[in-house]
Amino acid sequence: MAQSAVIFGCDGLALSTMEQAFFSDVKPWAFILFSRNLNTPVQIRKLCRDLRDAVGYYVPILIDQEGGRVARLKGPNWREWAPPLDQMNIVSAKNARRAMVLRYRLIAHELNQLGIDVNCAPMLDIPTSEAHEIIANRCYGTTPDVVSNMGRACAEGLLAGGVLPIIKHIPGHGRGSADSHFELPIVNTSSHTLNLIDFEPFRQLADLPMAMTAHIIYSSIDPNACATVSPKMIDIIRNSIGFDGLLMTDDLSMKALDGSLSERTIASLNAGCDVVLHCNGKMNEMIQIMTEVCLLSGKSKKRAEIAENLRCVPDSFDVKEASKIFASLM
């Protein structure tokens, strides 16, 4: 089936007639849900069914459910979590990995029950002293080894629960002193240091199926374009870091990017991203993006198929027992 190289959001708690017709026509590769789309378990399950019915296949459905400050699902219907770095500061080194696996296995259970099968985690950024607070305690540690180990634990927990992971923000957002939702961060660190530290967790987890780019300029490599739209940076992601999975942009509507949405779409795909991500569900913007989006084909299509085929039935899981063990590790 033909699929467009795009991931879209939707506007509200239920699909409008216009959205159903639009999605049926353009057939995005996946959808992403935000707080505006989430109310009750029954409502979310229906929305997921309707999204899949609109395109006519079991389309991947994404969410940002890191736990902590970035959690689209919140109490009382869903478990509340400490930010990952806060958890790491509490748990002992001996128990840290097991706790991280259980954290994301429990998150995967909640997502799977709703029909959501992709989580935008693990976050492999290594925070530095200049890191913007948008990154800080969402991270897993401050060294490549710890971040790689905990990122792998996160991915294992998600995969065991039938949820695909996305590594982000490749090749590293930890030195960005600005919030890329509102402005373009510029990192002036040497390419040697970036390769040695920032890129390393992504290299260690390059076997995972999907990654999301960073809207950041790394001036020592490409002073003229942020990673999302930089052929030089995408070449590093593919050949130096060794990531050959499905590469998606971060949200195209973020203010770190220049130009119209059409221009951003063209630049991202021409740089080497496989699919573009647009999150806010605004119909006029989605229509603009679709003027430049192509169908998935070639290597991009193969990467998408590999990711989709990794979705599986969750392993046997006792939620109460896992919750008890997790609490005992803290």
CA separation for the pair 152, 146 (Å, rounded): 10
Cis peptide before 41 (omega within 30 of 0): no
The structure tokens listed for 237 are 């992601």
Smallest CA-to-CA distance from 311 within 168, 161, 120 is with: 161
Separation of alpha carbons 280 and 21, rounded Å: 18
Residue-by-residue DSSP string for 213-229 = E---EETTT-TTS-GGG
Overall size of the chain counted in residues? 330
Measured distance CA(248)–CA(211) in Å, rounded: 6
The answer, yes or no, to whether the previous bond of 171 is cis (omega within 30 of 0) is yes
Catalytic residues: 181, 250
